[in-house]
């Protein structure tokens, strides 16, 4: 056999080229996904007030953030709303999952599909219908209405997570607890609930993050006093881009990343 | 501490399906009773009714003379070792064992002492801080037992406690469980489909079939004197041969078995007043000899299958009398004489008359 004319194309060259191509493509996708965020964070440290030119490193926009009373107020509102939403979603979602899992009653299947619906419902629809409902009921917009709005689409996420965990749970566990002297509530409290903890925490975190960056539903259900951070940022951005917003968004991102990191940690711990 | 259980006409129906019908059974205090039957026979439902997870639709359950039929499980002085053990995954071994005492509000000092005692009982003192997923199958079973007995129940229920273990471990865990029961003097009710387990462990066995009791008695009686064809066949292997009474002598009855074998059996073994019934011939009661060309037609057969099991071999033989009857025989496995019993070998069978048992009941039981 003659010497190969194209020594570059050895039998292993095909797979190697493919691997290199895939690696390049992956890098491209990641850049596409994260470059805007990176630019935002970098520019939050830019000393320039206007334009995109780099005029040196500065922390002044973060310092200025401390002077902005309304923004701080909105951040606090966001925390209150997200906190309350998380708490309510966890309670509703866990109890709902337990009910659907443990009891058979007429209309159970229908209820189950209805409960999942808000997860996929367009937020604009949810926002408008909630606004109409509150108007009809004569409820003034405020924290309560925002929280109700957020819980509506957040608690199904907790329910689904807890439900999945329940389905993987040995049904004999509850009976074992009853057998050892626990009342039905005692069995739930001391055996089922601890077994559900990872799912509840993961679902709760999801609810927190969903509420934390929700804009549309908040837009329809909030009053001026209960405006959350995304709503405030949205309002300010319409007026004109402002380096303070970059700093704010960077901080906002930090909270979200902390949440994601925590949820990753939880998933590791559950295994 | 242990107590007697009485099931009085207990039944359970799910809609049109009857899972358990009219069970009358008294389990003595300190007794080791096994509910033995095939899957779906209702034995587990019976156990669940004693535990309180199911409510009977008929009859009453008494524990130490008190009616507990409607008492919820958490208020019954009865504990269970679950199939698959159902250990609480979020609690350590100690936490699992302490659970029942915590639910009953036992003071911390006494709780600690009793948990230590229970762990010592199953030789798990060293593993108290481990979690269930860090234990072997055998250790898990011991935790499940400790978790139940620490509550000092009047009756301990065991639902297929060996099914999750491999064969070797099963043997040693069996011995441990039996020793534990003797030591505690506690009433044990075991549910199993494994006849070996039932025969090895029980004071008495209750054979359950299609939701009803077939026979209740000590293991030897169940094995050697089965009351029904079902019991004969389910507990050990049995060749059921049609048998006919042909005459009577002092203390003995002359019997002709299918296949033409004529025997004289002790009169007490033949159901009085019956002309025919079926003989329960255990494989080990069938003695095979190589056929040496004798004229005698009775008992001649041909080997149709040989199954080697190490310490013994199981042989299938077909009788030559035209009835087409097949028998299973057990032959001690050896290296030397196997040549006589290869497939196709001509043999004569003999059945020892003295230990033969005849079914006392009417032929097949009617449809239920």
Q: Which two tokens stand for residue A70?
A: 């309304």
Q: Do A172 and B88 touch (CB under 8 A)?
A: no
Among B231, B253, B275, residue at a domain's last position:
B231
Residue B61 lies in a domain: yes
Q: Do A181 and B151 touch (CB under 8 A)?
A: yes
Torsion of CA B295, B296, B298, B304, to 10 degrees: -40
Q: What is the pLDDT of chain A when averaged over all its residues?
A: 86
Q: Do A181 and B80 touch (CB under 8 A)?
A: no
pLDDT at position B364 is 43
Q: From the CA of B7, how many Å to the nearest CA of chain A?
A: 20
Residues 159-178 on A with a CB inside 8 Å of B are 170, 172-173, 175-178
Residue A41 backbone dihedrals phi, psi, to 5 degrees: -65, -45
Q: How confident is the model at residue A244 (pLDDT cuts 50, 70, 90)?
A: confident
Are both B89 and B209 inside the same structural domain?
A: yes
Judged by a CB distance cut-off of 8 A, whether residue A194 touches chain B is: yes
Judged by a CB distance cut-off of 8 A, whether residue B51 touches chain A is: yes
Three-state secondary structure call for residue B185: coil
Considering only the beta carbons, identify the residue of A183, A191, A197 that sits closest to B88.
A191
Closest residue of chain B to A172, computed from CA coordinates: B86
Q: Do A176 and B88 touch (CB under 8 A)?
A: yes
| Long-range interactions of A33-41: CB distance < 8 A, separation 24+ | A37/A253, A40/A246, A40/A249, A40/A250, A40/A253, A41/A246, A41/A250, A41/A253
Q: Do A195 and B151 touch (CB under 8 A)?
A: no
Query: What CATH class does A85-221 carry?
Result: mainly alpha
Considering only the beta carbons, identify the residue of B75, B79, B90 that sits closest to A195.
B90
Residue B273 lies in a domain: yes
Considering only the beta carbons, identify the residue of A172, A176, A181 that sits closest to B104.
A181
Judged by a CB distance cut-off of 8 A, whether residue B45 touches chain A is: no
Are both B223 and B247 inside the same structural domain?
A: no
pLDDT at position A59 is 81
Q: With beta carbons less than 8 A apart as the criterion, state whether A145 and A222 touch.
A: yes
CATH code where residue B282 lies:
2.40.50.140
Closest residue of chain B to A175, computed from CA coordinates: B53
Q: How far apart are CA B251 and CA B129, in angstroms?
A: 66
Model-level ipTM above the cut of 0.85? no
Residue B352: give the domain boundaries.
Answer: 237-358
Among B231, B254, B287, residue at a domain's last position:
B231
Closest residue of chain B to A271, computed from CA coordinates: B133
For residue A4, pLDDT beyond 70: no
| Residue of B44, B73, B158 to mutate when probing chain A, most A C-beta within 10 A | B73
Are both B156 and B255 inside the same structural domain?
A: no
Q: From the CA of A190, how many Å to the nearest CA of chain B?
A: 9
pLDDT at position A62 is 84
Higher pLDDT, B233 or B295: B233
- Mean pLDDT value of segment B94-123: 94
pLDDT at position A156 is 93
Q: From the CA of B175, how many Å to the nearest CA of chain A?
A: 25
Residue B195 lies in a domain: yes
Q: From the CA of B57, how many Å to the nearest CA of chain A?
A: 20
For residue A109, pLDDT beyond 60: yes
Are both B257 and B191 inside the same structural domain?
A: no
DSSP H stretches of helix in chain B: 43-51, 93-103, 108-121, 137-149, 167-184, 195-201, 219-224, 229-234
CATH code where residue B65 lies:
3.40.50.300
**Structure confidence by residue, pLDDT tens digits, A163-199:** 999 998 888 999 999 999 999 999 999 999 998 988 8
pLDDT at position B203 is 95
Are both B223 and B246 inside the same structural domain?
A: no
pLDDT at position B169 is 87
Q: How far apart are CA B205 and CA B198, in angstroms?
A: 7
Are both B94 and B243 inside the same structural domain?
A: no
Locus of tokens 């043997």: B171
Residues 233-252 on A with a CB inside 8 Å of B are none
Considering only the beta carbons, identify the residue of A179, A183, A191 that sits closest to B51.
A179
Among B231, B249, B266, residue at a domain's last position:
B231
Q: Which strand ranges, in their side-by-side order, compose the sheet holding B346-351?
A: B286-290, B346-351, B300-308, B312-319, B326-332
Closest residue of chain A to B53, computed from CA coordinates: A175
Residue B365 lies in a domain: no
In chain A, which residues fall in CATH 1.10.3720.10? 85-221
Residues 102-121 on B with a CB inside 8 Å of A are 103-104
Q: From the CA of A196, how many Å to the nearest CA of chain B?
A: 10
Judged by a CB distance cut-off of 8 A, whether residue A270 touches chain B is: no
Residue B120 lies in a domain: yes
Q: How confident is the model at residue B363 (pLDDT cuts 50, 70, 90)?
A: very low
Is A213 exposed, middle or buried (CB count within 10 Å of its CB: 0-12, 13-18, 19+)?
middle
Are both B307 and B351 inside the same structural domain?
A: yes
Residue B285 lies in a domain: yes
β partners of residue B350: B287
pLDDT at position A105 is 86
Q: Which two tokens stand for residue A12?
A: 């292993």
Are both B25 and B165 inside the same structural domain?
A: yes
Are both B179 and B214 inside the same structural domain?
A: yes
Q: How many domains does chain B have?
A: 2
pLDDT at position B157 is 96
Q: From the CA of B234, how many Å to the nearest CA of chain A?
A: 29
Close Cβ partners of A194 (under 8 Å, ≥ 6 residues apart): B88, B90, B91
**Structure confidence by residue, pLDDT tens digits, B139-188:** 999 999 999 999 999 999 999 999 888 888 888 889 889 999 999 999 99
**Structure confidence by residue, pLDDT tens digits, B329-362:** 888 766 665 556 888 888 888 888 888 899 987 5
Are both B262 and B227 inside the same structural domain?
A: no
Close Cβ partners of B309 (under 8 Å, ≥ 6 residues apart): B333
**Structure confidence by residue, pLDDT tens digits, A6-64:** 555 666 778 888 899 999 999 999 999 999 888 888 888 887 777 677 778 888 888 88
Are both B120 and B257 inside the same structural domain?
A: no
Considering only the beta carbons, identify the residue of A175, A182, A191 that sits closest to B53.
A175
- Mean pLDDT value of segment A147-163: 93
β partners of residue B318: B302, B326
Closest residue of chain A to B83, computed from CA coordinates: A172
Closest residue of chain A to B144, computed from CA coordinates: A176
pLDDT at position B367 is 35
Residue B366 lies in a domain: no
pLDDT at position B366 is 36
Q: What pTM was computed for the model? A: 0.79
Q: With beta carbons less than 8 A apart as the criterion, state whether A71 and A65 touch.
A: yes
Q: Which two tokens stand for residue B175?
A: 């011995």
Residue B364 lies in a domain: no
Q: How confident is the model at residue B368 (pLDDT cuts 50, 70, 90)?
A: very low
Q: How far is CA B24 from the centre of its chain?
A: 18
A172: chain B residues, CB-CB within 8 Å:
82-84, 86
Considering only the beta carbons, identify the residue of A179, A190, A197 that sits closest to B79.
A179
Considering only the beta carbons, identify the residue of A172, A175, A181 that sits closest to B103.
A181
Least trusted range by pLDDT, from B38-47, B194-203, B248-257: B248-257
- Mean pLDDT value of segment B245-263: 86
High-pLDDT (> 90) share of chain B, %: 58
High-pLDDT (> 90) share of chain A, %: 35
Q: How confident is the model at residue B201 (pLDDT cuts 50, 70, 90)?
A: very high
| Residue of B52, B86, B97 to mutate when probing chain A, most A C-beta within 10 A | B86
Least trusted range by pLDDT, from B60-69, B100-109, B199-208, B258-267: B258-267
Q: Do B88 and A183 touch (CB under 8 A)?
A: no
pLDDT at position B27 is 95
Are both B175 and B218 inside the same structural domain?
A: yes
């Amino acid at each position: 056999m003659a010497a190969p004319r194209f020594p570059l194309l050895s039998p292993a060259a095909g797979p190697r080229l493919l691997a290199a191509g895939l690696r390049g493509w992956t890098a491209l996708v990641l850049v596409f996904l994260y470059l805007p965020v990176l630019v935002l964070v970098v520019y939050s440290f830019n000393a320039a007030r206007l334009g995109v030119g780099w005029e040196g490193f500065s922390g002044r926009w973060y310092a200025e953030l401390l002077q902005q009373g309304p923004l701080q107020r909105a951040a606090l509102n966001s925390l209150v709303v997200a906190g309350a939403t998380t708490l309510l979603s966890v309670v509703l979602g866990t109890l709902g999952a337990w009910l659907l899992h443990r009891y058979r009653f007429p209309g159970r299947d229908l209820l189950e599909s209805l409960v999942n619906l808000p997860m996929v419902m367009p937020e604009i629809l949810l926002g408008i219908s909630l606004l109409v409902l509150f108007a009809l009921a004569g409820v003034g917009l405020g924290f309560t209405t925002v929280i109700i709005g957020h819980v509506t689409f957040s608690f199904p996420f907790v329910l689904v997570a807890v439900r999945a965990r329940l389905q993987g749970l040995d049904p004999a566990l509850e009976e074992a607890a009853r057998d050892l002297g626990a009342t039905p509530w005692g069995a739930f409290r001391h055996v089922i609930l601890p077994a559900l903890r990872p799912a509840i925490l993961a679902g709760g975190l999801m609810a927190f993050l969903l509420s934390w960056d929700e804009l549309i539903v908040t837009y329809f259900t909030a009053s001026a006093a209960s405006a959350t951070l995304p709503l405030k940022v949205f309002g300010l951005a319409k007026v004109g881009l402002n380096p303070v917003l970059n700093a704010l968004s960077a901080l906002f991102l930090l909270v979200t990343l902390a949440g994601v990191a925590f949820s990753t940690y939880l998933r590791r711990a559950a295994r | 501490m242990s107590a007697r259980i009485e099931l009085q006409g207990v039944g359970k129906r799910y809609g049109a399906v009857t899972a358990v019908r009219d069970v009358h059974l008294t389990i003595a205090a300190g007794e080791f009773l096994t509910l033995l039957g095939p899957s779906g026979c209702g034995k587990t439902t019976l156990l669940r009714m004693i535990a309180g997870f199911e409510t009977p639709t008929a009859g009453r359950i008494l524990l130490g003379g008190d009616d507990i039929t409607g008492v919820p499980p958490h208020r019954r002085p009865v504990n269970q070792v679950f199939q698959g053990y159902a250990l609480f995954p979020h609690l350590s071994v100690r936490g699992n064992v302490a659970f029942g005492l915590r639910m009953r509000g036992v003071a911390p000092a006494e709780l600690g002492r009793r948990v230590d005692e229970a762990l010592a009982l199953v030789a798990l003192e060293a593993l108290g801080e481990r979690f269930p997923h860090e234990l072997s199958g055998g250790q898990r079973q011991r935790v499940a037992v400790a978790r139940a007995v620490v509550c000092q129940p009047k009756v301990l229920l065991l639902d297929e406690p060996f099914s999750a273990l491999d064969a070797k471990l099963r043997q040693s865990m069996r011995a441990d469980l039996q020793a534990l029961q003797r030591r505690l003097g506690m009433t044990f009710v075991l549910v199993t489909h494994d006849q070996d387990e039932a025969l090895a462990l029980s004071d008495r066995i209750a054979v359950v079939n299609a939701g009803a009791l077939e026979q209740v008695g000590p293991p030897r009686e169940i094995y050697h004197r089965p009351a029904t064809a079902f019991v004969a066949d389910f507990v050990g292997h049995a060749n059921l041969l049609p048998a006919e009474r042909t005459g009577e002598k002092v203390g003995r009855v002359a019997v002709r078995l299918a296949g033409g074998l004529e025997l004289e059996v002790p009169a007490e073994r033949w159901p009085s007043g019956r002309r025919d019934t079926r003989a329960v011939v255990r494989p080990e009661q069938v003695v095979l000899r190589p056929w040496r060309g004798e004229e005698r037609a009775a008992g001649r057969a041909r080997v149709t299958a040989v199954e080697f099991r190490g310490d013994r071999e199981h042989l299938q033989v077909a009788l030559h009398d035209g009835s087409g009857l097949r028998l299973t025989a057990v032959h001690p496995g050896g290296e030397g004489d196997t040549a006589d019993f290869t497939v196709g070998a001509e043999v004569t069978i003999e059945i020892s008359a003295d230990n033969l048992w005849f079914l006392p009941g009417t032929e097949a039981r009617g449809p239920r």
